[in-house]
Structure 1
Amino acid sequence: MATLAARLRRWRRSEGAQGLLLVSPTLLYALLLLAAPLATIVAFSFWSQDYLTIDRSFTLENYREAWTEPLFRELMLRSLAISGAVTMVTVILAFPIAYFVSFHVAPERKALWIFLITIPFWTSYLIRVFLWKVILGYNGVLNSGLLGLGIIDEPLTFILYNANAVVITLAHAWAPFAILPIFVALEKIDRSLLEASRDLGETTVTTFLRVTLPLAMPGVVAAVLIVFIPTIGDYVTPRLVGGPNGLMIANMIQVQFMKLNNAPLGATLALSAMLIVGAISILFLWLNRRFLKVRQ
C-alpha cells in the first residue's frame, strides 16, 4: 500500500499528470457539449416518435426512409451542389485577395488590410442576408442599376429566391474565413524559393504553379474545409433568399424537429448529412495528399 501511495505521489508530480490536469477542463467541456449531444442524436436516429411519445425500441426504419425517399435525396444532392459551388467560388475569389495582401502590400500595412477584411463580422449575419435580399430583389439595387444603364430591359428573376442567391450570399458571408487561412499559408512561404525558381529560368506563371501554389495548399485545404462543412448545414440563408428551389437538407431537418415532431427522422437526416460530409472531406484530403506527392 505504501509503495502504491508513493507511486501515486510521483505520478501526480510528473509531466503527464500536470498535462492531464491542464487539458481536463477542455476535455470535460468537449464531452459535455460535443460528445454527449452527438451521442444523443445517434441514439434518437434508432428510435421512433408518435407525436410527443418517443418509442425507444431499436429500428432502422428512419435510415430506410432517409435514404430511399426521393425528396430527402434531392435535398441532400442539392445541398452538396450548393455547398460545393459556394466553396469553389469563395476559395477562387479569396486566393487573389490573400495573394495580393501577402505579396504586394507593405508589411506595415498588412494588419490594416486584414482588419478591413474582417469588418463584415461587425454586423449581424441576418442583417447581411437581408441586405443581399435588397441587392438581388426584383426591384433591388442590382436590377435598378442594370435597368438604369440600359443593360437589361426587364428585371432579372434568376438572382433571388433560388440556389443562385444562396451561393452568392453564402460566398460573401464566408469569404473572410477563406482569405485568412490562405493568407497565413502564403506568409509562411520562403521568398528565396521564388527567387531561386526565377533564377533557374521559370516564368512568373510557372513559379506560381510549381512553387507558390503547392506551398500554399495547406491554407487552401483549410479554407475548403472551413467553408464546405458549415455551409451544408446552413438553413437560415436558404430560408430567407433561397425560395422553394434553394432549400437545403438543413431546412428539412429543422422542419422534422420543430414542425412535424419527428425528432428521430430529423436526427437520422442530420447524422446522414454528417457522414456524407465527413466522407467527402476525407476523400478531398486524400486526393490533395496524392496531388502533393505527384508534384514532389
Structure 2
Amino acid sequence: MYSKAYKKLVALPPLLWVGLFLLVPYALMLAHSFWAVHDGMLVRQPDLHNYVTLFSKPVYAAVLVRTMRIAAAVTLCSLLLGYPLAYYLSFHAGAPKELLYQLVIVPLWVSYLVRGYAWKTILGSEGVLNGFFEYLHLTHEPVAFLLYSPFAVVVMLTHIYTPFVFLPVYAALEHIPRGLVEASEDLGAGAAQTFLRVILPLSIPGLLAGATFAFVLSLGDFLAPLLVGGASGTMIANVVQSLFGAAYDWPLGAAISVGLLIITVSLLFLSERLEKRWRY
C-alpha cells in the first residue's frame, strides 16, 4: 500500500496542471465578462452590461439558435452514420473487423485544415460534386447552396465528428455479452426484436456518449463555418473569435464564452445522468 504522502505527491502535478491551465483561464474569462471597453481601453469595473447586451440584442440569440440547430443536425447525421457502422463491425464484420476499424479512425490522423479545404474543393462551384451533377445533366449551372451555407457546415462537421460517435458506440456494442444475444435468438426473437430489446438498450450509454461528443464539439467549432459556412453559416464561436479579434470587445466575448460554458457543462451533466440511468 502507498502512503498518504506518496499519493499526495503523485496527485500534485496533475492538480497543478488543471488549476493553472484550466481553472485559472476560466476564472480570468469570468472576470473579463464583468468588465467593459471604453474608448479602446479595458475598464476593470464590474457590472452586468455585457450580459444585458447579450440578452437584449436578438442577433446573438439568432446565432446561438442557428449554432444549436447545426450542432443537432451534425449529431443526428453522425449517429445515423456511426451507429450502423459500429453495429456492423461489432456483429457482422468477421475477419476484416480490425482493418475496417483502422479505416474508420484514419480520418482522425488527418489535419482538420486539410479536411476542411478538401470539402471546399468538393462542394465549390467548380468542385467535384457540381462537376458530377453537370456531367449527368442534373443541373445546368453550379448549385449555390452546396458551399458557404449551413448545409456545407453540417456536411463537413459530420465527416469530422462521426468517428467520435463511432468509437464509444463500438465500445458499448463490444461489451454486450454475446450470450444475451444468443439467448434472445433461442427464445424465438427475430433479428429486429433482438436488436430493439437487447442490443439497442444495452448500447444506449455509448450512444449518449457519442451524441454528447458530436453536439458539444460542434457547438464550439469555428473553423468549419469559417471555411465553408459563409455569412449564413456563421456560428457562435465565430462571433466570439470576432469579438476577441477585430472588434476588440473582450468582455462581451468573455460573456458569450461563459454562456457557452454553462450550456456545455449542463449538457455534460445531463448526459452523465442519462448514462447512469441506462447503464447495466
- Please tell me the TM-score bracket, short chain as reference: over 0.9
Report the equivalent of 1:99: 87
Q: Identify if the C-alpha distance between structure 1 residues 51 and 168 changes in structure 2 by more than 3 Å, giving closer, same or farther.
A: farther
| 1:263 pairs with 2:261 | no
Q: Which moved more, 1:240-249 or 1:117-126?
A: 117-126
Q: From 230, 234, 244, give the equivalent of 2:217.
A: 230
Q: Deviations over 1:114-148 (max 9, x none)?
A: 22112223322111111101111112111111221
TM value normalised by structure 1 = 0.89
Q: From 72, 92, 99, give the equivalent of 1:112.
A: 99
CA distance in 1, matches of 2:163, 2:217: 14
Q: Which moved more, 1:34-43 or 1:197-206?
A: 197-206
Q: Which moved more, 1:118-127 or 1:33-42?
A: 118-127
Which sections of structure 1, spanning at least 5 residues, go unmatched? 1-12
Q: Which moved more, 1:149-158 or 1:127-136?
A: 149-158
| 1:139 pairs with 2:139 | no
| 1:43 pairs with 2:8 | no
Give me the identity figure in percent: 39
Q: Deviations over 1:14-71 (max 9, x none)?
A: 5433222222111111101111101110111111122542211110010010112111
SS in 1 for 2:45: coil
Asked whether the 8 Å contact 2:212–2:271 carries over to 1, the reply is no
CA distance in 1, matches of 2:258, 2:234: 18
Report the equivalent of 2:57: 69
CA distance in 1, matches of 2:110, 2:182: 42
CA distance in 1, matches of 2:187, 2:157: 42
Q: Identify if the C-alpha distance between structure 1 residues 160 and 247 changes in structure 2 by more than 3 Å, giving closer, same or farther.
A: same
Report the equivalent of 1:28: 16
1:83-232 correspondence to structure 2 within 5 Å: 83-106=71-94, 109-232=96-219
CA distance in 1, matches of 2:7, 2:59: 49
Report the equivalent of 2:44: 56
Q: From 7, 22, 34, give the equivalent of 1:19.
A: 7
Q: Identify if the C-alpha distance between structure 1 residues 177 and 287 changes in structure 2 by more than 3 Å, giving closer, same or farther.
A: closer
TM-fit CA distance, 1:208: 0.6
SS in 2 for 1:158: helix
Q: Which moved more, 1:241-250 or 1:177-186?
A: 177-186
Runs of 4+ in 1 over 6 A off after TM superposition: none
Paired amino acid for 1:223: G
Asked whether the 8 Å contact 2:209–2:271 carries over to 1, the reply is no
Asked whether the 8 Å contact 1:76–1:273 carries over to 2, the reply is no
Asked whether the 8 Å contact 1:51–1:262 carries over to 2, the reply is no
TM-fit CA distance, 1:289: 5.8
Paired amino acid for 1:94: G
TM-fit CA distance, 1:288: 6.0
Structure 1 or 2, whichever has the larger Rg, is: 1
Paired amino acid for 2:131: S
Q: Deviations over 1:160-204 (max 9, x none)?
A: 111000000000011111111111111101011011111222211
TM value normalised by structure 2 = 0.94
Which sections of structure 2, spanning at least 5 residues, go unmatched? none
